[in-house]
Amino acid sequence: MSSEPSYSEFKPLLTQSVGYGVVVGVGFFFAGVMFILTTLQRKFFKFSPASSEEFTSASRSVKPGLICCGIVSAWTWSATLLQSSTVAYTFGVSGPWWYGVGGTIQVAMFGMVASKVKQNANGAHTFLEIVKTRFGTSAHILFTFYGFLCILLVCGSLLLGGSATVNALTGMNTTAACFLLPIGIAVYVIFGGLRATFICDWSHTIILFIIIYIFTFRAYGTSPAIGSVSRLYDLLEQASIATPVVGNQGGSYLTMKSDQGLVFGAITILSGFTGVFCDQGYWQRAIASHPESTTKAYMLGGISWFAVPWAFASCLGLSARALITNPNFPTYPSPLSPSQISAGLAAPAAAAVLMGKGGAITVLLVVFMAVTSAASAELIGVSSLFSYDIYRTYFRPNATGDEIVRVSHCFICFWAVWMGCWATILNAVHIDLGWLYYVQGCILSPAVIPIGLTVSWSKLTKAGVFCGAIGGACFGMLAWMIGCWKIYGQINISNLAQPYSALCSSLAGLFFSGILTVGVSLLNPADYDFSGTRAIATLEDTIGSDISGVDTSYRASDTESQNEKREEKQSSLKQPVSNIMEVGLENDDEQRLRSLKTVFRKAFIYSSILTLIVVILVPLPLFFSHYVFSKKFYTFWTACSIIWAFASGSFCIVFPLWESRNEIGMILGSAYRSIRK
């Protein structure tokens, strides 16, 4: 006689005071650090955060190492750490690999789009500005809806995952966590703008990789519960016998032959495209980067980020599955319940066993870092959408740079509060991290191809954009409902986020969107030369504006540089060789375009090779051979993940320092001389 399995509550290892201390204290600590760094930047560096161009696009001068670090940090959501560990706990070794694939190839492919942004719309502040210039108001409104919807889904995912972890480990009230998490983030974003988020991204990435190394050494080396790769292999073999995985070869957690894992891989690839191509945060980084190094930064970012879910989840996700029978497991003697799994609590459970309270604090800190770094990118992104694409486009077309900065500050404050409200609403109706992760691709996939082609394909038409985005959404929704009904028997909130329902919708939405977008455009192709988008101008701040409460001396360097540029332009017009100079400028533009076209081709080759390796050459032979890892091969697999993590961490930590050594030396030297006076 069968009975329903019984589950235990997740026992908090820490007190609520620790939760509040991390959420509030660490958040405001970073805000204080950013205030100091921003003050140094304003006083001793040529770019001031009081400038709208600096605040929203970092004056388009960020070097590839810092962009790479920003990509790693901003793409490391709470879901990256928690959901990847969940699929490792659920499917075995295939889960972390497919999660990594689902984020890496999109970042690499977005490198091609980033090069097209620099080639065809270098003055744009948001991707919606490009849409507005090329296709007009109606298309702009359509994609404004998709842009804000993407940010809503991302913010919900960040706060639900973060608050669930804080609640499980400390008992802190979930609603309080949802509201308090964004506060410190908003403070330092307002102080420093986009460049401040890059600096914070670098510091967060250091902490992230150090914590990955700590858990790696603990699980595979010093933990009494595991202590070696060989011991973890033996425990996973025992788990395969006790709780075999349906659809895995022999029920084993040690095989890439996982039907559920393969379906998850398809979903995460489709969802990853929406999380990159529809998110203003990624376009913001492409806009902020130096033109010649944009694609290089995205290439390096994609490779470096892959190590995060692969190494972190292979360690903690698989450890959680292996340690279910350990008396120190938070839900012992029961496994994690379905709701605990969906909330992403596999990694916190493993950390609690491996390191006790220290592990709980460590995973709490790394999840907090993931939430803050990704949320800071979303706050800058959403403030840019509002200030440029709503306020400046429809309410104040002649808005000055000072106004844009003020409006951005106000909207960041509003969105930080709304993020908390939104996450609280989702939590109240029992929507969690896992639900949002699966559903994201269903909702946003129809917009991916029209958005990507807007900046890169000259034959794209307005009719094609609308047919693709709206028609793809209709087909995707239809496939979602029919798939859910036919496969799971009834349509309800839970079943809509089941893997096969999500796959049907995401695949149909992306496929039919692409067919309609390209097909309708080719019926009457355009011949757009991108002259309109190339004419999008950067916004110079109004000189001499008087804003109460803001010291205008902070903007002195920015204003002086603008005056110098104007004087240079005026003097150049007086020269008798102006015609020769114009020809020289045209030649420079042609040379720059040729250079960017070469960069685009390199990005295409690189992303194609990377996709071939991580999507086909490595996982599919292992899948179709039905191979179950031997102990030696599992040791090799684990060693590869550790080596990749160490290489990525070293690169992300050292490269930004090396490439900015002159600027760092200049700022520190100026500060030292100022103190000595």
pLDDT tens digits, 571-623: 444 444 445 444 544 555 677 777 778 888 888 898 899 999 999 999 999 99
Q: Which of 384, 215, 402, 427 is nearest to 286 (CA)?
A: 384
Please tell me the distance from the alpha carbon of residue 349 to that of residue 344, in angstroms, as a whole number.
Answer: 10
If pLDDT is split at 50, 70 and 90, which confidence band does 568 have?
A: very low
Weakest mean pLDDT among 23-27, 77-81, 193-197: 193-197
- Give the pLDDT confidence of 635-650 residue by residue, as tens digits: 999 999 999 999 999 8
For 289-437, strand residue ranges (E) read: none
In this structure, are residues 52 and 539 in contact, taking their beta carbons and an 8 Å threshold?
yes
- Give the pLDDT confidence of 75-84 residue by residue, as tens digits: 888 888 998 9
Averaged pLDDT of the chain = 84
If pLDDT is split at 50, 70 and 90, which confidence band does 54 have?
A: low
Report which of residues 476 and 297 the model is more confident about.
Answer: 476
- Give the pLDDT confidence of 380-402 residue by residue, as tens digits: 889 889 998 999 999 988 888 78
Residue 418 has pLDDT above 70, yes or no: yes
Please tell me the distance from the alpha carbon of residue 650 to that of residue 642, in angstroms, as a whole number.
Answer: 12
Find the angle CA(33)-CA(21)-CA(176) to the nearest 5 degrees: 110
Let me know if 39 is exposed, middle or buried by CB neighbors in 10 A (0-12, 13-18, 19+).
middle
Let me know if 627 is exposed, middle or buried by CB neighbors in 10 A (0-12, 13-18, 19+).
middle
Length of the chain: 677
The secondary element (H helix, E strand) that includes residue 560 is helix 556-573
Paired residues of 248 in beta bridges: 258
- Give the pLDDT confidence of 243-296 residue by residue, as tens digits: 999 999 999 999 999 999 999 999 999 888 888 889 888 887 777 666 666 777
